[in-house]
Amino acid sequence: MNLNNIVIVLDHPDESRNIGAACRAMANNDISDLRIVGNRADYDIEHIHVLAIHAGGIFDNAHFYNSITEATADCSICAGTTRRRGKKRGKLLLPEEFADMADDITEGSTTEAGGKVAVIFGNERTGLTDEQLDECNLGVTIPSSDNFGSLNLSHAVQIMSYHLFRKSLVEKKGEYRGYTPLTLERVDRTVQTITNDMQKIGFFKMPGREDMENFWRSLLSRASLSEGEAQYLEKTFDKMAGLAKKNSEK
Question: Is residue 210 included in any domain, yes or no?
Answer: yes
Q: Is the domain of 101 the same as that of 224?
A: no
From 169, 200, 218, the end of a domain falls on 169
Residue 121 three-state SS: strand
Q: Is the domain of 199 the same as that of 77?
A: no
| Owning domain of residue 223 | 184-248
From 169, 194, 220, the end of a domain falls on 169
53-61: long-range contacts, CB 8 A cutoff, minimum separation 24: 53/24, 54/27, 55/20, 55/23, 55/24, 55/26, 55/27, 56/20, 56/23, 58/23, 58/26, 58/27, 58/32, 58/34, 59/19, 59/20, 59/23, 59/34, 61/32, 61/34
Q: pLDDT at position 83, please?
A: 82
Phi-psi bin for 141: left (phi > 0), alpha (psi -120 to 50), beta? beta
Q: Is the domain of 160 the same as that of 204?
A: no
Q: Is the domain of 203 the same as that of 131?
A: no
Q: pLDDT at position 41, please?
A: 94
**Mean per-residue pLDDT pooled into runs of 10, the chain (250 residues):** 95 96 96 97 95 95 97 95 67 92 80 85 91 91 85 94 90 53 92 92 80 91 89 94 82
Q: pLDDT at position 74, please?
A: 96
Q: Is the domain of 11 the same as that of 127?
A: yes
Q: Is the domain of 194 the same as that of 89?
A: no
The pTM assigned to this predicted structure is 0.75
Overall number of domains in the chain: 2
Q: pLDDT at position 176, please?
A: 44
Question: Is residue 175 included in any domain, yes or no?
Answer: no
CATH of the domain at 124: 3.40.1280.10
Sign of CA dihedral 16, 18, 19, 21: positive
From 169, 202, 235, the end of a domain falls on 169
Q: Is the domain of 134 the same as that of 220?
A: no
